[in-house]
Amino acid sequence: MMQIDIMTLFPDVVGDMLCESILGRAQERGYIRVDCHQIRDYTTNKQNQVDDYPYGGGHGAVMQADPLYRCWAHIMEGCSEEERVRTIYMSPCGKTFCQADAIRLRDDYDRLILVCGHYEGIDQRFIDECVDEEISIGDFVLTGGEIPAMAVADAVCRLVPGVLSSPECYENESHWDGLLEFPQYSRPEVWHDRAVPSILLSGHHANVEKWRRKQSIIRTRDRRPDMYAKLDLSSKADKKLMKEIAAEEAAAMDENPEQN
């Protein structure tokens, strides 16, 4: 079972979100467990204050080290010696999270402690003493770490065996093998005069898989050239696909020269 502990000022909001739908059912079945911890419960003042002015001046406030440490220590007391535990601070200064990180965290650890910062951040001394790594979900800044923590928890938990019905549910998705996912279609067959590609109605599974591979390659090339540049398309099958893609695109340009 994968255990996720989230240190936050808004445990009800985070907990409610992660207890719905697929992750909620996975918790009921014992594949994962998500616990949210209110940092304010670990303060030592009557006002339950968790922040104060930054040394050196500046705007805003900084979350204090002591309430964070007390909350973290309480979680650690509940960990067994056998558990592989990782403490992660959700920070815009961290390494950008990707699918490979979700797989790594699932495979290498039994328990993740996700720390949600607020205001101008958290006291560096807590990071130095308790945090194993810092993770960002992109090159932008949010008002708090709850959304990033939920994103990381969701990305990791859905990879835990039993959470989804089959590994194929995530192995064919975007970013699993360096490609973006192919387009998906559902009923009805025609919607707003837009028809489902005929190949998907053929019942020929090999041709469907070939079409999907082509579409993934094209989509990755057009939308994420950074990912496309890292792809290994040297296999005989992929080389053949690349020739077919080039021929099909050339034919389409000849048919519609005005779009060139």
Three-state secondary structure of the chain:
CEEEEEEECCHHHHHHHHCCHHHHHHHHCCCEEEEEEEHHHHCCCCCCCCEECCCCCCCCCEECHHHHHHHHHHHHHCCCCCCCEEEEEEEEEEEECCHHHHHHHHHHCCEEEEEECECCCECHHHHHHHCCEEEECCCCCCCECHHHHHHHHHHHHCCCECCECCCHHHHCCCCCCCCCCCCCCCCCCEECCEECCHHHHCCCHHHHHHHHHHHHHHHHHHHCHHHHCCCCCCCHHHHHHHHHHHHHHHHHHHHCHHHC
- Single pTM value for the model: 0.85
Is the predicted pLDDT of residue 176 greater than 80, yes or no? no
Mean pLDDT of all residues belonging to the chain: 93
Is the predicted pLDDT of residue 166 greater than 80, yes or no? no
Span 2-31, average pLDDT:
95
Is the predicted pLDDT of residue 180 greater than 70, yes or no? yes
Confidence grade of residue 111 (pLDDT, cut at 50, 70, 90): very high
Is the predicted pLDDT of residue 5 greater than 90, yes or no? yes
Return the pLDDT at 136.
97
Return the pLDDT at 173.
54
